[in-house]
Structure 1
Amino acid sequence: MKISLKNDMVLVKVFNNNIILVKSSGREKILFEKGIGFGKKIGAMIKKGTEVEKIFIIENEQNIQNFNKVIERTDEKLLALFEEIIYDISEEIDEELSENIHIGLVDHLSFAIKRLESKEEIQNPFLIEIETLYPLDFYLAEKAARRIEKEIGVNIPDGEIGFIALHIHSARNNGKLSNTVKYSYLGNLIIKYVEDELNIQVKRRSLDYARFLTHMRFAIERIITKNPIENDLRGIIKSKYKKSYKISEEIGKILSKELNTEVSEDEIAYIAMHIERFKVSFDK
């Protein structure tokens, strides 16, 4: 469905024939429409009533400044490609994305490609956790990576796909990324602690791993938001699964220190229950 512009807009930059940057009422907007940039020059007026496929709006003054800096240091063809990728992501999931994605993701991809062209690859310590916790974002990141590879011939490794997925996840959650990284870091820390205590090694792409990591993500979220789970079986779990409960108590201390908040006994019992499931899986 086409969108009709409500005001006249001044052309600021032409990314390609189908994508332009305009300014109106102090806000910058990225317009998508086939042929809208063809033959147009900076300062041209995009008339009220012009129909476009999609509009991305950048309202925050700091974001406007940062976006303009990103434009200055990013190759025009790459910039157009990245904006098309953002458009495709928004259309595929039918969601409005945070305006920060036009700065964060575009800037990241620009520098990532330069690094990869120079054979410099940054390792992603949270790759498996990101892929497990945010499968849709990872899928979208993979599609973006494959398109970049096809368009410019630079191989995008899995670790870089993980970073792209984080930017997408952040954009889908109003620009918030800190908890995403925290979930990944703490989940990995806890898994390693459980492995050491049970003397096991969990396959990072197994169902057990995915299940436990997902449960830990929600546990961490409840702890952060101070919305603890109620666990009527706490006494039974503590009595029946002594070793798992003891490990869970230590995990509670780790979480309490990392998150600077108390971890309830109900939550400790909940974590113990999932540790026991781990333990049983490896005892078979």
Structure 2
Amino acid sequence: MSITMDSAVVIKSYNNNIVSVEMNGQERILFAKGIGFGKKTGDKIEKGTEVEKVFLIENEDNLRNFKQVIENVDEEFFELCERMISFIADELQEKLDERIHVALVDHLNFAVKRIADSEEIENPFLIEIKALYSTEYSLAERVAKKLQDEININIPLGEIGFIALHIHSARNSGVISNSIKNTYMINSIIEYIEEKMSIKIDKTSLDYARFLTHLKFAIKRISTNISIKNDFIKEIKSKYKISYKIAKGVSKILVEKLEKDVVDDEIAYLAMHIERFRRATLES
């Protein structure tokens, strides 16, 4: 769908299809076939000109980084990435954080180069990403399929996981660092439980999926000081002694990583999930 522009003055032409302009007192990036052809700083773009996309990136660091991405990414591939971002926003029916135009485009650009050179980066959190961010992962699979169809390159599962993290970040104010931090923390917790119980948790099981979901929301509650009520703390402590002791150890990991106290109610809920793992092991 085309957009009809007000008049604008060219700040810089990046290539035939992308220009930076001053319009209504703000710097904007315009994308349209041929809009940058022969354009120089100070040239005017007439009112009524139709363009395909208008980027208004308000954060100065994001705008500077976006301009660097434009200059370093192949013109056609940049256009393809932006079509993928529009697809993601349309599917989610959400406005995405503006940093996705930097982070995802830059990631995909280097990912495609790595794949072409047979340099695949392992994603150690793929199972956790699929379980915790199922909507984003499903979208990432479709993005990967579109990329494969367009540029005839196979996107490995690990990269699909990274794309999912970028989508999750764009839905949550660009805080991908927190997503990665939490995924590391969850991975540490799983390893701790496995070590203490001398088991290997089945990461394809429903119990595992439930535990990941519980941990995701527990981390959010603890981080934002939201309390949760558990009326069966005494029974859980008495009936699930081993699991409660391990849950106490998990709570110490959470306290260390989040720098927040973990109440007994949360620990009791963790113990209930850990008990499911213990029983599944005994029954197998």
* TM-score with structure 2 setting the length: 0.88
User: 2:89, 2:191 → 1: CA distance?
Assistant: 36
- Structure 1 unaligned blocks of 5 or more: none
Give the AA of the match of 1:102. Answer: H
Structure 1 residues 13 and 82 mapped into 2: Cα distance closer, same or farther (>3 Å)?
farther
In structure 2, the CA distance between the partners of 1:13 and 1:2, relative to structure 1 (3 Å rule), is same
Aligned residue in 1 for 2:202: 203
Distance in 1 of aligned mates of 2:75 and 2:36? 16
Percent identical pairs in the alignment equals 50
Is the counterpart of residue 192 in structure 1 residue 217 in structure 2? Answer: no
CA contact (8 A) 1:28 1:64 kept: no
Cα separation, 2, equivalents of 1:45 and 1:127? 49
Report the alpha carbon displacement of residue 205 of structure 1 after superposing the two structures with TM: 2.4
Residue 278 of structure 1: how far off its partner (Å)? 2.1
| Conserved 8 A contact 1:28-1:59 | no
Aligned mates of 2:131, 2:47 — CA distance in 1: 46
Q: Once the 2 structures are TM-superposed, how far is the Cα of residue 149 of structure 1 from its aligned partner?
A: 1.5
Which residue matches 1:174? 173
**2:33 match:** 37
Contact 2:15 2:36 survives alignment (8 Å): no
Show the 5 A alignment for 1:1-284.
Answer: 5=5, 7-10=6-9, 12-13=12-13, 20-23=18-21, 24=23, 25-31=25-31, 36-38=32-34, 41=37, 42-43=39-40, 45-49=44-48, 55-284=54-283
Aligned-partner SS, 1:272: helix
Q: Does the C-alpha gap of structure 1 residues 275 and 72 become closer, same or farther in structure 2, counting only changes over 3 Å?
A: same
Change (3 A) 1:237 1:39: closer
**Matched residues in 2 for 1:162 and 1:245: separation?**
32
Distance (Å, rounded) in 1 between the aligned partners of 2:267 and 2:221: 12
Give the secondary-structure state (helix, strand or coil) at the position aligned to 2:119: coil
User: Structure 2 CA distance, aligned partners of 1:229 and 1:159?
Assistant: 35
Offset, 1:142: 1.2
CA spacing shift, 1:209–1:176, aligned 2, 3 Å: same
Q: Name the count of aligned residue pairs.
A: 277
The structural deviation recorded for 1:227 is 1.4
Moved more, 47-56 or 204-213: 47-56
Closer, same or farther: CA 30–98 of 1 in aligned 2, 3 Å:
farther
User: Cα–Cα, structure 1 residues 54 and 92, in superposed 2: closer, same or farther, change >3 Å?
Assistant: farther
Shift of residue 228, structure 1, vs aligned partner:
2.6
Does the CA-based 8 Å contact 2:98-2:170 persist in structure 1?
yes
How far apart are 1:30 and its partner, in Å?
A: 4.5
Deviation at 1:210, TM superposition (A): 1.0
CA contact (8 A) 2:237 2:268 kept: yes
Give unmatched runs, 5+ long, in structure 2: none
**Change over 3 Å in CA distance of 1:51–1:74 after alignment to 2:** closer
Q: Which moved more, 1:162-171 or 1:141-150?
A: 141-150
Distance 2:100 2:275 in 1: 40
Write the letter of the residue equivalent to 2:282.
Answer: D
Q: How far did residue 9 of structure 1 move? A: 2.9
Q: Following the alignment from structure 1 to structure 2, what is the Cα–Cα distance between the partners of residues 211 and 195?
A: 16
Name the CA distance, whole Å, in 2 between partners of 1:274 and 1:15: 55
Report Cα offsets for 1:126-149 as digits up to 9, x if no partner. Answer: 111111100111111111111222
1:118 Cα deviation after fit = 1.1
How far 1:219 sits from its partner (Å)?
A: 0.9
Q: CA deviation at 1:248?
A: 0.3
What's the offset of the Cα at 1:56? Answer: 3.6
SS at match of 1:58: coil
For residue 120 of structure 1, give the secondary structure of its aligned residue in structure 2: coil
Per mean C-alpha deviation after superposition, the further-off stretch among 189-198 and 125-134 is 189-198
Q: Tell me, yes or no, if the aligned pair for 1:14 and 1:37 is still in contact at 8 Å.
A: no
- Separation in structure 2 between the aligned mates of residue 151 and residue 123 of structure 1, nearest angstrom: 24
